[in-house]
Amino acid sequence: MDSRYVRQFKKGALEMILLCLISKKETYGYEIITKLNRSAAVLGYAREGTVYPILYRLQEAGLIRCRLAPAAANGGLKKYYSITEQGRETLNELTAFWRQYTACVDDFIGEADSAEV
Amino acid sequence: MEKYIMQVKKALVVSGRAKKEVLRDLKEIFASAREHGESEEQVIGRLGSPEEFADNINEQMGVSRTECLRLRRRRQITVVSIFAVLALAAGLLSRFSSVPNDAIGYSDSMTSIKIESARLDVPMLLVVIGIAAMAVAVIMTIRYRRGAK
Q: Are residues A80 and A27 in contact, defined by beta-carbon separation less than 8 angstroms?
A: yes
Query: Domains in chain A: how many in total?
Result: 1
Do residue B44 and residue B101 come from a single domain? no
- B64: helix, strand or coil: coil
Nearest-Å Rg of the Cα atoms of chain B is: 27
Residue B87's contacts (CB-CB under 8 Å, 6 or more residues apart) are B126, B127, B129, B130, B133
Same domain, B140 and B76: yes
In this prediction, residue A1 carries a pLDDT of: 60
Number of domains in chain B: 2
DSSP state of B62: P
What's the distance, CA A1 to chain centroid? 20
Residues in A closer than 8 angstroms to B27, CB to CB, are 76
Q: Quick one: pLDDT at residue A85?
A: 97
CA B96 → CA A18, B27, B100, B109, B116, distances in Å?
A: 68, 57, 8, 21, 13
Q: Which of B41, B61, B81 is the last residue of a domain?
A: B61
CA of B69 to nearest chain A CA: how many angstroms apart? 22
Same domain, B8 and B43: yes
CATH of the domain at A46: 1.10.10.10
Domain of residue B30, residue span: 2-61
| CB-CB under 8 Å, B31 with A56 | no
pLDDT of residue B105: 52
Question: Is the ipTM reported for this complex over the cut 0.85?
Answer: no
B128 and B55 in a common domain: no
The model's confidence at residue A61, banded by pLDDT at 50, 70 and 90, is very high
Q: Is the dihedral of CA B46, B51, B53, B56 positive or negative?
A: negative
Tell me the mean pLDDT in the region A64-91: 89
* Residues B93 and B125 placed together within one structural domain of the fold: yes
Let me know whether B52 and B78 are in one domain.
no
- Give me the mean pLDDT over the A52-65 stretch: 94
Q: Is A11 on the interface with B (CB under 8 A)?
A: no
pLDDT band, residue A62 (cuts 50/70/90): very high
Domain identity same for B11 and B32:
yes
CA A31 to chain B, closest CA, distance in angstroms equals 9
For residues A94-110, give the mean pLDDT. 96
| Residues B107 and B43 occupy one common structural domain | no
pLDDT along chain B (149 residues), means of 10: 91 87 93 90 90 87 65 84 90 73 53 54 85 91 79
**pLDDT recorded at residue B90:** 87
Domain that holds residue A34: 4-116
Q: What percent of chain A has a predicted confidence (pLDDT) above 90?
A: 68
Report pLDDT for B64.
60
Greater pLDDT, A1 or A34? A34
Distance of CA B96 to the CA centre of its chain: 32
Work out the minimum CA distance from A48 to partner chain B, whole angstroms: 6
Which of A 62-101 lie inside 8 A of B, CB atoms?
Answer: 71, 73-74, 76-79
Sign of the C-alpha dihedral, residues B107, B109, B115, B117?
positive
- Best mutation target among B5, B17, B26, B28 (most A Cβ atoms within 10 Å) is B28
Judgement on whether residues B87 and B101 belong to the same structural domain of the protein: yes
Q: Are residues B9 and B53 in the same domain?
A: yes
Angstrom distance (rounded) from CA B123 to CA B87 = 9
Q: Could you tell me if B107 and B54 lie in one domain?
A: no
- How many interface pairs between A and B have CB atoms less than 8 angstroms apart? 63
Restricting to A residues 19-58, those with a Cβ less than 8 Å away from any Cβ of B are 28-30, 45, 47-50, 52-54, 56-57
